[in-house]
Structure 1
C-alpha cells in the first residue's frame, strides 16, 4: 500500500457529498480516486476525481484500497459483499445491513480476507452525546433510570426519493432511529425487551415517518427513543435522569449544518456548539435543594472516524466502529418493526 489510502466511493448522494468527501479530501491519509454514480454531470464538481457509471470499475481497480458504500440501504449487503470479495477494506454507511444473517456473512468474509469492515455511525461523535458520556463517566447523574432521546424534524411534504418510498430499508427508523439505537447501545448495552410504535403519518407517506421505541433493562432502566417528520417546535434532544441528578439538552449537533454550508475546515472551533445549545445539569446542593448549572458541550468531532480508520488500516487495528455493535443495531431495528406489527413487547 502507498503512503495514502486510495479510496473509491459507491454512490454520490447527500451522504457521500456531506459526510464522507469533506473529510476524505482534507485528511492527509486519504486519496479519493474513483466514484461510482449515474449522475452525468458529477465530474464537474470534483474534476480531480474520476467518475464512472460502471460499478465494476470501482471494484476491479487494483489501486483502490478502501471502498465507501453510500448506496441505498437495501444495496448495502450486496455492495459490501462484492467489495470484500475483491479484497478491499470497506466502510458501510449506516444502517449496516437489513438482516442479522447479512451482517454475519459480511463479518465472516472480512475475517476470511483479513480486511477492515466498519460502519459509519458518525453520531457517536455528536457534541451532545459526548457530553452525556462524560457526565455519566464522572458520576454527576448517579445510576441512570430514565433516558429520552429524540430526533425530530419538520418535513410535512413527502419527497420523491428512495428513503421515503415503500422499499426495504426506507423510513426514519432505519435512518434516524439507527443513530439513536446505536447511541443507546453504547451507553447501556443490549436491552432485554423492546416495544415500538411506527406509523406513516403524513398524507401520501409510504415509509415510516414517526416512531417511538421503549427499551427495557433488568436494572429497571427505561430508554425512550423517538423521531418524527412533523415536529416544527421540538422538545429536548436528550433527557437523562439518574439517582444524583438530571441533564436536559436542546438543539442538534452543528456539524451536519457546517458540512452542508462550508465543508470541513480543520480548526479549533470545528464541532463547537453555540452557547445557546448548552445543556442544563440539575443536582441537589448541600441543603437538598435543586441546583442548576449550564454545561458547555464537548466538541463534536466527526473527523475522528476517518482519523481512527487510517490507523486501523495502516496497522490492522480495531476499526472506529466495531461491526458487531452495528449488527446489534440491526437486530433491534428488526425487533422494533416486529413489535410495531404485532403491537406487543418483544424479548431481545
Structure 2
C-alpha cells in the first residue's frame, strides 16, 4: 500500500484530537510531523515524527499531503502556499473567509492536478449518519421542514484570542455554522435562497455567537441554529415530512473520546448510548409506527479513507473544494441577509 507522507500545520487541539490519531493508525498514511511555533508537543505523543520550525521547512521536506488546521483567517494564505508548493491539502472548516478565496484555491488545485479536501468530519457523526439513512429510506414521505441545532451552554469567552477578536475568520457562523451548512447541503443540495439572523449575545463578546439561518428550497425549508445559551438541549435534528417525523438528540461520542485520549481503533468506536436514539413517528405500509431507531456507528476514519483513495487512486475527495465553495456561498449570503434584513437569492 502506498504511504502518503502527511504533515500538520499546527498541533493544538485539532491536530492532537482530530488528525494525528487517525493519520498515525491509518495504514495508508505516514505522519511526518507538525509545524510548531512555540510549544513543541507532537514528539511527546509521537516520538519518531518531526517538529518543523517553519512552514517553509515543512514544505521543503518530502511531504505529499498537508493538513491546514490553523485559524480560519489563515486558511487561504497557507492552503495557497501548500498547493503552489505542489502538495495535496486538507483544509479545516471554515474552508476560507470568502467565496472568492475558496474558488481560487479550488482552481489552483485543479490547474496543478492536486487533491484539495475540506475537513467536514461531522458528515461521519453517528447522529448525522442516522438522519441520512432515515431520509434515504423515505419513511417520512416528502419533507416539509428540517431543523438542525449545534447548541451549547457556555457564556464565557474562549481563551483563544483568534476566536474572540474581530477578524475575518471569527464568530460562530464560521465556527459551528459550517458543520450545519455542510450537513444540510450534503443532504439536500444548494437552496434557492437564504435568510440569516446573526447576533451577539454573550457579555463583552466582539464576535457573533448566535445564528438562525433559513435555507429556502422549492418545496421545503431547512433551519440551522447555533447558540451558546442553550442549557436544556433541543433535538439536534428535527425532520417533519408528509408521513411522519424524526427527532434525534446530538449523541456522537467521537470528539469526547478523542479528547480523553482514546484511540479510534476498536470495533465499538463511534457507538453512542442507546439512551440517545432518535424517535421515529410515521406511517409504514399503512400502519402507524412510533419507535426508537438504533443509531448507526460514527467513524471519522471514513474521511481519511476517502482522502487516501483520492490521492492514491485518483478518486474524488470525500468533501470537495467545490463543497467548500458552496458552504462559503451560504455564509456570505447569510451575512448579507442579516445586514440587509432580507432574503438573499443565490
Structure-to-structure mapping, 1:246-265, within 5 angstroms: 246-265=245-264
- In structure 2, what is the Cα distance between the partners aligned to 1:22 and 1:256? 12
Q: Secondary structure at the match of 1:140?
A: coil
Determine the structure 2 residue equivalent to 1:47. Answer: 47
The answer as to 2:315 corresponding to 1:317 is yes
Q: Deviations over 1:264-318 (max 9, x none)?
A: 3312211111101100000137777x53111011111111010121111111211
Q: Deviations over 1:182-239 (max 9, x none)?
A: 01111111111111111110101111111111111112x0111000111111111110
The alignment covers a number of residue pairs equal to 344
Q: Deviations over 1:118-137 (max 9, x none)?
A: 11000111111111111111
Residue pair 2:4, 2:30 contacting (<8 A) in 1 also: yes
Shift of the alpha carbon at 1:178? 0.3
CA 84–285 in structure 1, closer or farther in 2 if over 3 Å, else same: closer
Determine the structure 1 residue equivalent to 2:283. Answer: 284
Q: Secondary structure at the match of 1:28?
A: coil
- In structure 1, what is the Cα distance between the partners aligned to 2:254 and 2:102? 29
Shift of the alpha carbon at 1:52? 2.0
Determine the structure 2 residue equivalent to 1:230. Answer: 229
Residue pair 2:139, 2:284 contacting (<8 A) in 1 also: no
Q: Secondary structure at the match of 2:141?
A: coil
Quick one: which of 285, 288, 292 aligns to 1:294?
Answer: 292
Residue pair 1:22, 1:263 contacting (<8 A) in 2 also: no
Determine the structure 2 residue equivalent to 1:335. Answer: 333
Determine the structure 2 residue equivalent to 1:207. Answer: 207
Greater shift after overlay, 38-47 or 127-136?
Answer: 38-47
Greater shift after overlay, 174-183 or 105-114?
Answer: 105-114
Residue pair 2:68, 2:75 contacting (<8 A) in 1 also: yes
Q: Deviations over 1:104-159 (max 9, x none)?
A: 21111111211111110001111111111111111101111110100001111112
- In structure 2, what is the Cα distance between the partners aligned to 1:243 and 1:264? 42
CA 6–282 in structure 1, closer or farther in 2 if over 3 Å, else same: same
CA 81–284 in structure 1, closer or farther in 2 if over 3 Å, else same: same
- In structure 2, what is the Cα distance between the partners aligned to 1:118 and 1:174? 17
CA 139–286 in structure 1, closer or farther in 2 if over 3 Å, else same: closer
Unaligned runs of 5+ in 2: none
Residue pair 1:146, 1:222 contacting (<8 A) in 2 also: yes
Residue pair 1:194, 1:216 contacting (<8 A) in 2 also: yes
- In structure 2, what is the Cα distance between the partners aligned to 1:285 and 1:169? 46
- In structure 2, what is the Cα distance between the partners aligned to 1:291 and 1:305? 34
- In structure 1, what is the Cα distance between the partners aligned to 2:269 and 2:70? 28
TM-score when normalising by structure 1: 0.95
Determine the structure 1 residue equivalent to 2:266. Answer: 267
Q: Deviations over 1:51-90 (max 9, x none)?
A: 12311111121x1110000011011111111111111110
Q: Deviations over 1:37-59 (max 9, x none)?
A: 21333243432211123111111
Shift of the alpha carbon at 1:35? 0.7
Determine the structure 1 residue equivalent to 2:304. Answer: 306
TM-score when normalising by structure 2: 0.96
- In structure 2, what is the Cα distance between the partners aligned to 1:194 and 1:168? 21
- In structure 1, what is the Cα distance between the partners aligned to 2:95 and 2:286? 49
- In structure 1, what is the Cα distance between the partners aligned to 2:262 and 2:317? 24
Unaligned runs of 5+ in 1: none
- In structure 2, what is the Cα distance between the partners aligned to 1:189 and 1:320? 16
- In structure 2, what is the Cα distance between the partners aligned to 1:286 and 1:71? 51
Runs of 4+ in structure 1 over 6 Å off: 285-288
